């Protein structure tokens, strides 16, 4: 099978983690007899420095011309002075919107080998295996914005079809898992949340009666993720809540460096990226954890190519390496390996 991927290394540690992930994918391709083709493009601060735009047209063309896009990270202090429409993060938001990847999937599971990296006691972590489905192209991040001398505003708005389509994705994921879906909102205060709850109830009743649907206010959900996260199977929520809650949930597995994500649209379009940021403090030092990017690549194989065996092989290899005690600095500050050494171990574990 021929696999065509666009790679956007981005900023900070992005080039390091994508380089090692491409190494891993090439080995997976050899092992399972696939031909992999990689096109490279600029995004974020790196793109701004070269072109004056955080998302050049050439990059967007590359993404449209490939099956999937693998992204490293964007942003950093070097570009904090830029106006909003030139900042690296604007390039990422525009990419998500223009690719129409509206459903962001962030799997989070307890890995016993790295439990010491979590600030939580093990009894709060056992049995944690959840999936956050975040609406990605609507809400307050994309609403009308204004800023004056004494006032600023960001509009949070949702259309019915935006809610319906992400609820359907989340429900389908719940069908493949344990059959439980929790929709998170702020319906006691926000009209958008009351509308979200109304639409989700209708979709689930009419189309997915076999799935157990519950609702939870976002402030309560934030507490439950720390106190009893094992109760959750699939969580679905709006853009900003999903961003915050999934980052909070990183403590459940010990590090943001372990969390992957898949952003899906219609017809198999996919944007795959780790949940972590650009970590400029360790950029270029060969210290970054590449696991989140590698696991994101596994999600690309799973969701965009339906290559389940290959995706499972990457997941299993990373688990094997972590269980052996081979970890990067974020997981083991006093006894750690480099980004490249960790990748070497994962490649060896593939067999």
Active site residue 233: no
Q: Alpha-carbon distance 204 to 199, whole Å?
A: 9
Give the relative orientation of helices 57-64 and 88-99 as an angle to the nearest 10 degrees.
Answer: 40
**Dihedral sign of CA atoms 330, 333, 339, 342 in order:** negative
14 C-beta neighbours (distance < 10 Å), count = 31
CA atoms in the 13 A half-sphere facing the CB of 85? 2
Active site residue 57: no
The residue from 39, 247, 319, 344 that is catalytic is 247
The residue from 233, 243, 315, 330 that is catalytic is 243
User: In the 3-class helix/strand/coil scheme, how is 165-203 assigned residue by residue?
Assistant: HHHHHHHHHHHHCCCEEEEEECCCCCHHHHHHHHHHHHH
Backbone phi and psi for residue 278, each to the nearest 5 degrees, phi listed first: -85, -10
CB 213 within 8 A of CB 168: no
Active site residue 141: yes
CB 302 within 8 A of CB 292: no
- Nearest CA-CA partner of 103 in 235, 15, 202: 235
Backbone phi and psi for residue 127, each to the nearest 5 degrees, phi listed first: 85, 0
- Nearest CA-CA partner of 74 in 256, 289, 280: 280
Active site residue 158: no
CA end-to-end span of the chain = 20
Residue 235, H or E segment: strand 234-237
Pairing of strands 145-147, 152-154: antiparallel
Active site residue 67: no
The residue from 141, 158, 272, 303 that is catalytic is 141
The residue to which tokens 């799935």 are assigned: 211
The residue from 185, 186, 272, 303 that is catalytic is 186
The residue from 61, 219, 281, 312 that is catalytic is 219
Catalytic residues: 141, 186, 219, 243, 247
């Amino acid at each position: 099978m021929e696999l065509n991927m666009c790679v956007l290394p981005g900023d900070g540690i992005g080039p390091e983690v994508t380089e090692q992930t491409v190494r891993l994918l090439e080995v997976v391709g050899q092992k399972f007899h696939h031909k992999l083709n990689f096109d490279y493009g600029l995004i974020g601060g790196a793109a701004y420095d070269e072109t004056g735009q955080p998302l050049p047209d050439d990059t967007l063309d590359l993404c449209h011309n490939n099956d999937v896009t693998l992204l490293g990270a964007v942003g950093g202090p070097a570009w904090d002075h830029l106006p909003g429409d030139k900042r690296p993060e604007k390039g990422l938001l525009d990419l998500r919107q223009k690719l129409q990847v509206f459903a962001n999937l962030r799997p989070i599971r307890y890995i016993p080998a790295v439990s010491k990296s979590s600030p939580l006691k093990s009894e709060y972590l056992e049995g944690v295996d959840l999936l956050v489905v975040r609406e990605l192209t609507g809400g307050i991040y994309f609403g009308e914005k204004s800023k004056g001398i004494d006032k600023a505003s960001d509009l949070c708005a949702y259309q019915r079809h935006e809610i319906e389509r992400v609820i359907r994705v989340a429900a389908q994921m719940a069908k493949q898992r344990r059959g439980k879906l929790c929709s998170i909102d702020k319906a006691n205060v926000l009209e958008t949340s009351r509308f979200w709850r109304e639409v989700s109830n209708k979709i689930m009743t009419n189309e997915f009666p076999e799935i157990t649907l519950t609702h939870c206010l976002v402030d309560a959900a934030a507490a439950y993720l720390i106190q009893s996260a094992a109760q959750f199977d699939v969580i679905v929520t709006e853009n900003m809540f999903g961003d915050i809650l999934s980052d909070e949930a990183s403590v459940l597995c010990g590090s943001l460096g372990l969390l992957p994500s898949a952003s899906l649209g219609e017809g198999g379009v996919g944007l795959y990226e780790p949940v972590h940021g650009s970590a400029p403090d360790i950029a270029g030092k060969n210290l970054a954890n590449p696991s989140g990017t590698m696991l994101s690549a596994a999600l690309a194989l799973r969701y965009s190519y339906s290559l389940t065996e290959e995706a499972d092989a990457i997941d299993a290899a990373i688990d094997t390496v972590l269980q052996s005690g081979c970890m990067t600095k974020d997981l083991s500050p006093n006894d750690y390996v480099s980004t490249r050494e960790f990748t070497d171990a994962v490649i060896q574990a593939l067999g």
